[in-house]
Chain A
């Protein structure tokens, strides 16, 4: 168990207070992600995948259950501890990039390090290193409005990785990209996972994106529905995903 970067046990999330109309977004989800894994979370809209991501990313608190990231229990933490935890141990990539458009790409990437009080010189080294990995050295001095969507997402990925997080959390990272840029980003993520041992958890509803993962968890109605492991090549895995999705869709229709 020592190699698990993420452990989620019996997590429940209920919105609304008792007496009012409550909605049960997560009904006891458990999952484990080992170090170096590239895991996808899939599920139809309203299945609870975004809620799951929010509680894992400490942006929201689970109503019940237990979440451990890199050996730290995050469910009991105070607000400031959570903020520090996010900035030190987690990396985020969002669908809409979430770059600060009034900061240069360099400053955006440097931000997590600045927050930790890393020395200016070291920041400079680390930023150029991660920029090299993601192939964005050329645009470091530019501002987000001056670069393309694909470059923005790479910059966001660089910001997510610059402080060596325990796990990279990606929320529909290809959602706002065209197919060429999406593919390129996914290949980069695969490279990060395989050659730089970055643990990744990616939430997506896009089967093509999901096919880059090593393992996929399907959620439906706030519960884990099934799990598939990639064994062969990507095309084959893609078909496998589509099959599960069809199954999910069918079960929807039946009910």
Chain B
């Protein structure tokens, strides 16, 4: 009988349960999608070569699990709060508590299993859809990545089943401990109004100081190293929570104290609701701010690495094309490009050395980059190497036999020759010399040439440049007797391509992590707000009775929830903007295109804000007849 009752009441509250179900499905599917990456170590190994990425993955998986626990906890207390009154009524009517606890346990578990089934399916779809789409977009190979990955599936089911069992038990215990009366009156408990005094102001100041300290540590990370990171992270976290515990309530209080503002329209009510929220949601708001920071940070970090590839490449390479002995196909390809500058330099090679012709070099002096990673500026233009070369021969790289025989070439020439002419695999223990016309002509070896070119935008010609690179690999491979795929060319394109793949992997992961974080924390906030909504119902019906226009009530809801959503967003984004600075010692410009992750965040967050308002509105403002 009770089972029937519970089923029918669940059917009646279909909409509320749907909300819950959707939240759980989002959580489960994201968790699964993430596990397909976190557990598939073959894939991550292929896509990121350094171990620190693996650490990020593990930390990410841990954080995700941690947040998911919180999330499920909130989702379930939401469920319970919706049912308390009804369950209390059964008890008053004489149903045994044990029996009701049992039913609640089964309900929670059933709900969990249903959401697990749907969540896994959605997870597979997400992984194959978004995952593969993202990878294609980034031109990363999807080889080794599986949308359906059994270990990930097992992990997801295991983790969530345990979680659901625990929450079901907690729900049942909670119910068992509550009295009938407390259950029936569940919604009538009043808000406690704690007044905030001078203590709160002090805590707020402490919070701001800690935040400032944390930011300074991250800013000076280059000097403070690991210690700076640990101190920075800890003081930022504590500072954030302190600010939400003290500063926000104080601010809202100040808003309320402004009599003129408070007395206008429905502001008194809006502020009162807001005050209640900032006082009761301090912990979750602090957590949300941190998660926004982590989520957007993960996205921005990944993106920054990827976006900096081009800058990195320009630091090392001035010329877009450098070819030894170009073939006909290369010339054809060059014709298709918009070539700004093109020069050819001759050299001879015998079994002892490479001989570059000095006159060619002086006729068309080389450009070298004046930028370095430590000291990057877009204003640092490449400079022409102008050092005179009066002697008849200079040495660039000496074989054992030639050590000390010739004068070393000036530094700038050295740099120019090394970046543009010399492939390390080609040296093979030979010397590299720059010689004048007379010496060059006396030298017996075979003659070759190097072609250097600058084009308008090398990223436009990646196909052609790739083909050129293949030709070069074959050529060099045949000279030094190794397989073409084992040849490393030193062209701008190869530097770019190598870094692009690695950083795209980082970015892909950053986005996965970021979106998962954002979605979860936004729905956490949503549930926390909605779980208190039933209690607000009376207030809104009261306001309606005394004649507040529907539009004004809706406006109040929008305003109030906007404030609740915007505070953590501001602080979270502030964390990101300041935190990204810490990458400046490995990235040239950590803020490049930071608007993309920011925009993604704003969109996801705005969607959740809108859904929350609509759901909340549905609960507190029933349709008027």
Minimum CB–CB distance from A234 to chain B (whole Å) comes to 31
Q: Which of A82, A98, A120 is the one whose CB lies under 8 Å from B264? A: A120
The reply to whether B263 and A115 form a contact with Cβ atoms under 8 Å apart is no
A145 to B269, CA, bound (A): 16
The reply to whether B268 and A112 form a contact with Cβ atoms under 8 Å apart is no
Task: Given A100-B269, A102-B273, A143-B193, check contact A86 B539 (CB 8 Å).
Answer: no
Q: Which of A61, A100, A120 is the one whose CB lies under 8 Å from B260? A: A120
Asked whether any CB of chain A lies closer than 8 Å to the CB of B550, the reply is yes
Asked whether any CB of chain A lies closer than 8 Å to the CB of B118, the reply is no
| Residues B424-455 near A (CB distance < 8 A) | none
Minimum CB–CB distance from B275 to chain A (whole Å) comes to 8
The reply to whether B549 and A83 form a contact with Cβ atoms under 8 Å apart is yes
Number of interface residues of B (CB under 8 A): 31
A119 to B265, CA, bound (A): 10
- Stretch of B207-215, B231-239, B495-503, B540-548 lying at the A interface: B540-548
Binding site of B, secondary structure by majority: helix, strand, loop or mixed? helix
The reply to whether B263 and A114 form a contact with Cβ atoms under 8 Å apart is yes
Asked whether any CB of chain A lies closer than 8 Å to the CB of B351, the reply is no
The reply to whether A101 and B190 form a contact with Cβ atoms under 8 Å apart is yes
CB contacts (< 8 Å) of B265 on chain A: these are 114-115, 117
Per-residue interface assignment for chain A, residues 83 to 112, with 1 indicating a CB less than 8 Å from any chain B CB and 0 otherwise: 111111010101000111111000100111
Per-residue interface assignment for chain A, residues 109 to 127, with 1 indicating a CB less than 8 Å from any chain B CB and 0 otherwise: 0111111011110011000
Task: Given A107-B272, A120-B259, check contact A92 B264 (CB 8 Å).
Answer: no
The reply to whether A110 and B542 form a contact with Cβ atoms under 8 Å apart is no
| Residues B533-578 near A (CB distance < 8 A) | 539, 542-552
* Among B193, B259, B265, B546, residue most surrounded by chain A Cβ atoms (within 10 Å): B546
Asked whether any CB of chain B lies closer than 8 Å to the CB of A187, the reply is no
Number of interface residues of A (CB under 8 A): 39
CB contacts (< 8 Å) of B275 on chain A: these are 102
Asked whether any CB of chain B lies closer than 8 Å to the CB of A243, the reply is no
Asked whether any CB of chain B lies closer than 8 Å to the CB of A206, the reply is no
Task: Given A120-B259, A120-B264, check contact A100 B547 (CB 8 Å).
Answer: no
Asked whether any CB of chain B lies closer than 8 Å to the CB of A252, the reply is no
Task: Given A60-B625, A61-B625, A120-B264, check contact A102 B547 (CB 8 Å).
Answer: no
Asked whether any CB of chain A lies closer than 8 Å to the CB of B341, the reply is no
A192 to B364, CA, bound (A): 104
Asked whether any CB of chain B lies closer than 8 Å to the CB of A242, the reply is no
A114 to B263, CA, bound (A): 5
A84 to B546, CA, bound (A): 9
The reply to whether B549 and A114 form a contact with Cβ atoms under 8 Å apart is no
* Among B275, B539, B545, B548, residue most surrounded by chain A Cβ atoms (within 10 Å): B545
CB contacts (< 8 Å) of B546 on chain A: these are 86-87, 92, 98, 111-112, 159
A114 to B272, CA, bound (A): 14
CB contacts (< 8 Å) of B259 on chain A: these are 120, 124
Minimum CB–CB distance from A92 to chain B (whole Å) comes to 6
A117 to B259, CA, bound (A): 13
Asked whether any CB of chain A lies closer than 8 Å to the CB of B70, the reply is no
Asked whether any CB of chain B lies closer than 8 Å to the CB of A178, the reply is no
Residue on A nearest B273 in the bound complex, by CB = A102
The reply to whether A107 and B262 form a contact with Cβ atoms under 8 Å apart is yes
Asked whether any CB of chain A lies closer than 8 Å to the CB of B624, the reply is yes
CB contacts (< 8 Å) of B267 on chain A: these are 114
Minimum CB–CB distance from B319 to chain A (whole Å) comes to 70
Task: Given A100-B272, A102-B539, A107-B272, check contact A85 B547 (CB 8 Å).
Answer: yes
Minimum CB–CB distance from B556 to chain A (whole Å) comes to 11
Asked whether any CB of chain B lies closer than 8 Å to the CB of A138, the reply is no
The reply to whether A80 and B550 form a contact with Cβ atoms under 8 Å apart is yes
Minimum CB–CB distance from B279 to chain A (whole Å) comes to 11
Minimum CB–CB distance from A161 to chain B (whole Å) comes to 12
Asked whether any CB of chain B lies closer than 8 Å to the CB of A59, the reply is yes
Minimum CB–CB distance from A26 to chain B (whole Å) comes to 16
A99 to B546, CA, bound (A): 11
Residue on A nearest B193 in the bound complex, by CB = A143
Asked whether any CB of chain A lies closer than 8 Å to the CB of B135, the reply is no
Asked whether any CB of chain A lies closer than 8 Å to the CB of B143, the reply is no
Task: Given A115-B265, A120-B260, check contact A102 B548 (CB 8 Å).
Answer: no
The reply to whether A80 and B545 form a contact with Cβ atoms under 8 Å apart is no
CB contacts (< 8 Å) of A118 on chain B: these are 263
CB contacts (< 8 Å) of B263 on chain A: these are 110, 113-114, 118-120, 123-124
| Residues B262-319 near A (CB distance < 8 A) | 262-269, 272-273, 275-276
Per-residue interface assignment for chain A, residues 41 to 72, with 1 indicating a CB less than 8 Å from any chain B CB and 0 otherwise: 00000000000000001011100000000000
CB contacts (< 8 Å) of A143 on chain B: these are 193
CB contacts (< 8 Å) of A144 on chain B: these are 190
Asked whether any CB of chain A lies closer than 8 Å to the CB of B191, the reply is yes
Residue on B nearest A101 in the bound complex, by CB = B190
Minimum CB–CB distance from B386 to chain A (whole Å) comes to 76
Residues of A within 8 A of B (CB): 57, 59-61, 79-80, 82-88, 90, 92, 94, 98-103, 107, 110-115, 117-120, 123-124, 143-145, 159
Beyond the given pairs A83-B547, A86-B546, A119-B263, 18 more chain A to chain B contacts, judged by CB atoms under 8 angstroms and listed by A's residue number, are: A57-B545, A79-B624, A83-B550, A87-B547, A94-B545, A99-B542, A100-B272, A102-B191, A102-B269, A110-B268, A112-B547, A115-B265, A120-B259, A120-B262, A120-B264, A124-B259, A124-B263, A159-B546
28 A/B residue pairs, CB under 8 Å, sorted by A: A60-B625, A79-B550, A80-B550, A83-B547, A83-B550, A84-B549, A86-B546, A90-B547, A92-B546, A98-B542, A99-B542, A100-B272, A102-B191, A102-B269, A102-B276, A103-B269, A107-B268, A107-B269, A110-B268, A111-B546, A114-B267, A114-B268, A115-B266, A115-B547, A115-B548, A115-B552, A117-B264, A123-B263
What are the 4 tightest A-B residue pairs by CB atom distance, in nearest-first order?
A86-B547, A87-B547, A120-B263, A102-B272
